[in-house]
Chain A
Amino acid sequence: MNNEPVDVLIIGAGASGAAIAWSLLETKMRILCLEQGTHLSDKDFPSRRNDYELSRYAEFSCDPNVRKLKQDYPINSNNSSITPVNWNGVGGSTINFLAHWPRMRPSDFRTKTLDGVGDDWPVDYYDLEPFYEMNDRNVGVSGLNGNPAYPEYTVPYPPIPIGILGQTLAKGFNKLGWHWWPSDVAIVSKDDNGRQKCVNAGTCDLGCAAGAKGGANFTYWPILENAGVELRTDSRVREIQVDKVSGLAKGVLYHGSDGQLHHQKAELIIMACNGVGTPRLLLNSKSDLFPDGLANNSGLVGKNLMFHPLTGVAGVFDKPMRGHEGPMACSILSQEFYESDSSRGFIRGYGLHSGRSTTPMTYALGGYGIDNPIPWGDEHREIMDNIYPYLAGLTIVTEDLPEEHNCVTLDDELKDSDGIPAPKITYKVSENTKAMIKHGEDRAAEVLLAAGAKKILSKNDDKVWWRAGWHQMGTCRMGHDPTKSVVNGWGRSHDVKNLFIVDGSIFVTAGAVNPTSTIQALALYIGDQIKKNIGTLFD
């Protein structure tokens, strides 16, 4: 294995690692990416098999504790009300994400100033706006222009169909005078650039075999590999090493595909392992200079973990909703209750996302939420024949606020297959979020009834969905003050000047939207800052 020193070493080949590699291409620096997983070949996509649904509960589960593939690391979630889900491989979690693509909104970057909670970001919406646009073109985003929930921007492709389900719900929102809009999606609605347009298979979580979904495996990586970026798969980084004299990162120790431990030197190291993987690696990179973990002089590495706590409410209609047709989870989005309103009894807000229906097995095993099987016996027959086909649902996606006690630490006993300590999640849903969930459930029921639902199905408890920790944010937050943040306003570690972080861990607050669009825009922004500051990068 060739371990010659490189200029830039990126750890992780997911959404953010791919985006920043693309941004840095023009520098002509030698770029290497180490990825613990591998490429998926065409035959590996379950949606090409007749029994595709079975893979959701086995090798294509979103939960690494269920998949237990070689590239996965276990996660101890025993002390958490939500368990993180992900994909480890080229493309990262964009392999099994649902490609819902809303941007964060201007107020999301100023929650402290506007609402007295969280913290303000060191960047704002307008700093990221050109990078949102750049990334939307690279990824292939479809949607309808003119959404009054955002400053004006242009979506590259026309919207995907919202379907009978989306049309029905839209009429309900209109009846109540509430905001809704066709969802922006990272899914191409037209054949383009070797990617087949969406065929409405409805199995986005099983990877998109058509390439319609803008996973980094189909968008950035073909360009990067053609341009000479070296992607070394089956390569799991164990720790980042620092030079005792300069205090700079000098390279990494990683377990290679040959099963051996290797040393890779680099001038610049960029972490792109997301909100659980990045703090895990930093905390495991202890040295005399950094006894509490690398880049952790603030003590905030791993702290302030934020998810988007979710729950769902469904309505039973009198005509089939055909919810299994079309991109899963992406039809329409209401942001009527997104901004703070003190009369509601909570701070900040949430979105109402129209998840389409799932396939029969997933519904039978997941029930009204996503975690509990529906009943057996005659009731089972009744539900599957007379309810399931007629369902349209709304998912309440709440903004989680940063709290230090919600955190990622290292487990004392649990380890991955290379003996690296597993992450341990400590997380509790806040009272603010519980109030938001309750408000959202009531509003969702209201709009479903307005849309014509004959019956409302709800979990009727204050529990959020367990296997729904897709969005992992805040564990290495950005900021100007080194005592209150891990990286500066352009992703550089306050403590280690040649170490950058570009993934969801640097989010200061979470917003109430799917974060990948912002993660990639932020990675492109940081890439741009690196290029602008290249002469004084390590000062």
Chain B
Amino acid sequence: MWSEIEKKILTEILDELIPANPAKKIPSAGQLGVASFIFEVASNSPKLQENIKLVLTWVISKADKISPHLVREIELIHPNAFGSLITETYKGYYSRPDIRKKLYLSEKAVHPFGYEVKSESDEYLKELTDAVRSRGTVYRDPTGGRR
């Protein structure tokens, strides 16, 4: 279905879309293998398949080397196909538990454990809200407080 050259080119495009951050040891989308995710989604979506083919065919006919300039050209010339590539790239990249962890989130499913967040003490909430209380009511009561 997808040739080796297509896989290679898509991987290089993905590296441009979400680059790595070596200082934080965060891999790029291509390095992370997001291309496999996209090919898998495309196998169940003829429209996405068509869009990816369109982009890859255009790139293969145009250049040997992927650059930000070339990717910008794809965006301008094939905006709809590029839009669907962006969407699936972001989905494939950020659905990875290891990437979530790099961004300070839990790498696991959020239920059942969620996150530990400390409740504010009564004293602290009182201190925070004292100024609000001291200004008195801030609503209009057309019934004059019927209760």
Contacts and interface: CB of A to CB of B under 8 A. Distances in A.
A320 B115 CA distance: 15
Contact of A50 (B90, B97, B136): B97
Contacts of A324: 105, 115
Contacts of B111: 45, 47-48, 199, 201, 203, 209-210
6 contacts: A52-B109, A106-B139, A106-B142, A148-B138, A365-B90, A389-B103
Residue of A52, A109, A113, A129 with most partner-chain B CB within 10 A:
A52
Given A107-B141, A179-B132, A365-B87, A200 B112 contact: no
Contacts of A167: 120, 128
A325 B115 contact: yes
B126 to A, nearest CB: 9
A137 to B, nearest CB: 18
A482 interface: no
A201 B140 contact: no
List of 4 A-B pairs having minimum Cβ-Cβ separation, nearest first: A199-B114, A361-B94, A201-B110, A201-B114
B131 interface: yes
B136 A148 contact: yes
A47 B117 contact: no
Contacts of B109: 47-50, 52
Nearest to A335: B138
Given A53-B95, A57-B91, A326-B117, A199 B112 contact: yes
Given A179-B135, A199-B113, 18 more contacts: A49-B109, A53-B95, A54-B91, A105-B140, A106-B142, A125-B143, A161-B117, A162-B120, A182-B129, A200-B115, A322-B117, A324-B105, A326-B115, A376-B17, A376-B89, A377-B68, A380-B17, A385-B26
Q: Is the interface of B mostly helix, strand, loop or mixed?
A: loop
B138 A376 contact: no
A177 interface: yes
Interface of B: 16-21, 24, 26, 68, 71, 83, 86-87, 89-91, 93-95, 97, 99-100, 103-105, 107-120, 125, 128-129, 131-133, 135-143, 145-147
A376 B18 contact: yes
B117 A200 contact: yes
B139 A364 contact: no
A150 B120 CA distance: 23
A106 B135 contact: no
A339 to B, nearest CB: 5
A11 to B, nearest CB: 32
Contact of B19 (A189, A339, A378): A378
Nearest to B18: A380
A361 B91 contact: yes
Contacts of B68: 377-378
A148 B133 contact: yes
Interface string A64-105: 000000000000000000000000000000000000000001
Contacts of B17: 376-377, 380
A364 B142 CA distance: 45
Interface in A168-186: 170-171, 173-174, 177, 179-182
Given A106-B143, A361-B95, A381-B21, A389 B120 contact: no
Contacts of A47: 109-111
A388 B141 contact: no
Contact of B140 (A50, A106, A364, A380): A106
B125 A339 contact: no
A359 interface: yes
A322 B71 contact: no
Contacts of B24: 385
Contacts of A359: 94, 100, 105
A452 interface: no
B67 to A, nearest CB: 11
A110 B141 CA distance: 9
Nearest to A111: B142
A336 B19 CA distance: 43
A126 B139 contact: no
Residue of A163, A189, A373, A376 with most partner-chain B CB within 10 A:
A376
A163 B128 contact: no
Residue of B89, B91, B139 with most partner-chain A CB within 10 A:
B139
Contacts of B87: 57, 365, 373
Interface string A358-377: 01110011000000010011
Interface string A391-435: 000000000000000000000000000000000000000000000
Interface string A317-355: 000101011100000000110110000000000000000
A326 B120 CA distance: 13
A150 B24 CA distance: 48
Contact of A163 (B19, B117, B137, B143): B117
Contacts of A179: 132, 135, 138
Contacts of B120: 159, 161-162, 167
